[in-house]
Amino acid sequence: MSQSYNRGLIEDFGRWREFSAGMWAWVFHKFTGWVLVGYLFTHIAVLSTALQSPDAYTTTIQTLEGLLVVRILEVGLLAVAVFHILNGLRLLFVDLGVGLESQDKSFYASLLLTGAIVVASVPTFLAGVFG
């Protein structure tokens, strides 16, 4: 029906302000999932330097790990993975029909827990990079 007004993209993207817990969970899960696949591909690519020679592998890894950016990115990866895992567990429960009433609470819990774990892991992750 061409004559009616389609509010289109403006509406779709402008609506985030009105999102509720379950929708945010979905957005984050999607985002983290995509990051993780992306990482899986790069990860395999990096690892396969081992096919050239053991040394090539060791140098690549160690140069990479010596870079602060990479370490920071790794912390990001941890955050992403932890959230995806925790929310993934939440989703698994939802699929089993357990705890549907507190789905929003469990989402907030995943967020908080992710934050806590990430903060706690920062020292380990950044260890050695400044030295």
Partner 1 sequence: MSTQLPEQVEEESSAAEAEPTSAAQERRLEKKRQRAEEKERQRQAEEAEKALDEEDTYHLKVFRYDPEIAGKKEPRFDDFHVPYHKGMTVLDALMYARDTYDSSLTFRHSCRQAICGSDAMFVNGSQRLCCKTQLSDLEEPVRIEPLPHAEVVKDLVVDMEHFYDQMEAVEPYFQTNELPEGELEEQHQTRENREKVKMSTRCIWCGACMSSCNIAAGDNQYLGPAALNKAYRFTMDEREGEDMKQQRLEILEQEHGVWRCQTQFSCTEVCPKDIPLTEHIQELKREAVKNNLKFW
Partner 2 sequence: MAERYSSFQAGGRRWLWQRITAAFLVVVLAFHFFLLHFVHHADEVTFAMSQGRMQELTYFSLMILFLLTATFHGVNGVYNALINQGLTGTRKTAAKLVLGVASAVVIVQGVRTALAWAGGVPL
Residues present in the chain in total: 131
User: Which of 78, 85, 126, 129 is the binder for ligand HEM (CB under 6 A)?
Assistant: 85
Site string for partner 1, 69-108 (x = CB under 8 A): ----------------------x--xxxx--x--xx----
User: Which of 21, 36, 111, 126 is the binder for ligand HEM (CB under 6 A)?
Assistant: 36
11, 97 Cβ separation under 8 angstroms: no
Residues 6+ apart with CB under 8 A from 50: 56, 57
117 near ligand HEM (CB under 6 A):
no
- For 7, the 3-state DSSP assignment is coil
> Whole-number minimum distance, CB 131 to partner 1, in Å?
45
CA angle 45, 87, 73 (to 5 degrees): 40
Which residues form the interface with partner 1 (CB under 8 A)? 1-7, 11-12, 15, 17-23, 25-26, 91, 94-97, 100, 103-104
